[in-house]
Structure 1
C-alpha cells in the first residue's frame, strides 16, 4: 500500500516508522493522521520524548486531546497538578483544560497524542517550524495559548 503522505487519496495505512516527521527541540513527533491524509476530525501523532523533553502548559479552547503512553513514564500536567502515567496509561484532556507533559525519568518515553479536530496536527507542525518567540502567534491562530 502507498504511504498516505505520498498518496493523493485520503486515508490509508501508515507503516511502522513512517509518517510526517517533525522536530520539536529534543522531542521527535511523527504525525500519523491529520489533514494531510484527508482527516477533518481526528489527528494523531507518535512522539519519542527523551529525558528532559516535553511541552509546557497550554490550553486549547477548541481541541480535545487523548494521550496514550506507549513506553516509559510521562508526567502530565492537568491544571495545577502533575500526574505520572506509566506505559499503558491513557490521559484525556477536554478543551479548556490546562495541560502539558514532560519526561522526568532517565529513559526514553513514547506516547500517542490524538486530537480532535484534526487541524491540531497542522498547529503542531507550524509550532515545530517556528521559533519559540512566535509560538504565541501560532497558538492564537488555533484558539490555543501557553499558560
Structure 2
C-alpha cells in the first residue's frame, strides 16, 4: 500500500484509544491531500523513524479519508498541548492531541479538509454545469 497524493505533513500525533481506559497512544501520521494515515509507533526501530514506505504503511495502517470526514472540532489548549476531535460522517469521534508549538496538527488537518471539500464542490458544480449545458443545447452553438 503506497501513500496516495502529495504529503502535506508527516510526524507524530497522539490518539486516544477507544478502549475502556482511553489511553493516549503515539501514532506516526501522514497528512495527504486525500486524508490522514495513522500507524502505531510500536515495534519501530528507534533512530530512523521508519522512513521506508513499505514498513510505514503496512496493512495495520488506519486511513481517515476526507471524503468520510465531517469536521475537525473541540479544540482545547491545556499544558502546552492542543486537544481536538475529528468527526467522521458516521458520527464517530476520534480524539487527538499534539504539542502547541509550531503549526498544530488540527489546523493542518482542518485546512486540508476544507481544500478537499472545496475541490469536491467545484468538481460537482462543473459536472452539473456541463450536464445542464449539454441537455439545454439547441444546436445554435454549432453554427458558430
| Same-fold call, TM cutoff 0.5 | no
Larger RCO (CA within 8 A; separation ≥ 6):
1
> What TM-score does the superposition give when structure 1 sets the normalisation length?
0.24
> What TM-score does the superposition give when structure 2 sets the normalisation length?
0.24
Which protein has the larger Cα radius of gyration, Structure 1 or Structure 2? 2
Q: Which has the higher helix share?
A: 2
